[in-house]
Amino acid sequence: NAGVTQTPKFQVLKTGQSMTLQCAQDMNHNSMYWYRQDPGMGLRLIYYSASEGTTDKGEVPNGYNVSRLNKREFSLRLESAAPSQTSVYFCASSRRAGQVNQPQHFGDGTRLSIL
């Protein structure tokens, strides 16, 4: 069972470069999410997609864009990377939109450093 798969696992960028983080889930989930994790701050929601064809901003969307390519895939793009975007990025999915008792399932993360 693959669950949620993120690529790449590690990446180093220079300031101003662009990059797309990929995420795919094989659990037939409707909702998908992108978080960033920084020391002492827990996880903060960047963007989410309640269902295929919809995306919405989370808590910290500035500097990012997303695409829900299909039901399985949800990508996160950094158009012009900045050192403040150095972080660990997690993708997650949940089964059914609108049901607050549904847990989210997480990928193993992408560790991104911006020099």
Partner 1 sequence: AQSVTQLGSHVSVSEGALVLLRCNYSSSVPPYLFWYVQYPNQGLQLLLKYTTGATLVKGINGFEAEFKKSETSFHLTKPSAHMSDAAEYFCAVSENYGGATNKLIFGTGTLLAVQP
The reply to whether 107 sits near partner 1 by the rule CB under 8 A is: yes
Q: Which is nearer to partner 1, 67 or 102 (CB)?
A: 102
Comparing C-alpha atoms, which of 64, 7, 8, 5 is closest to residue 36?
Answer: 64
CB of 49 to partner 1, least distance (A): 8
Q: Which is nearer to partner 1, 10 or 14 (CB)?
A: 10
Binding residue (CB under 8 A) for partner 1 from 31, 47, 81, 85: 31
The reply to whether 42 sits near partner 1 by the rule CB under 8 A is: yes
Q: Which is nearer to partner 1, 62 or 103 (CB)?
A: 103
| The two three-digit tokens of residue 85, written as one number | 């975007």
- The contacts of residue 24 (CB under 8 Å, 6+ apart) are 4, 5, 72, 73, 74
HSE (side-chain half, CA atoms, 13 Å) at 52? 10
Binding residue (CB under 8 A) for partner 1 from 43, 63, 65, 67: 43
CB of 45 to partner 1, least distance (A): 6
CB-count burial class (<10 Å; 0-12, 13-18, 19+) for 45: middle
CB of 63 to partner 1, least distance (A): 20
The CA distance from 60 to 78, in Å, is: 13
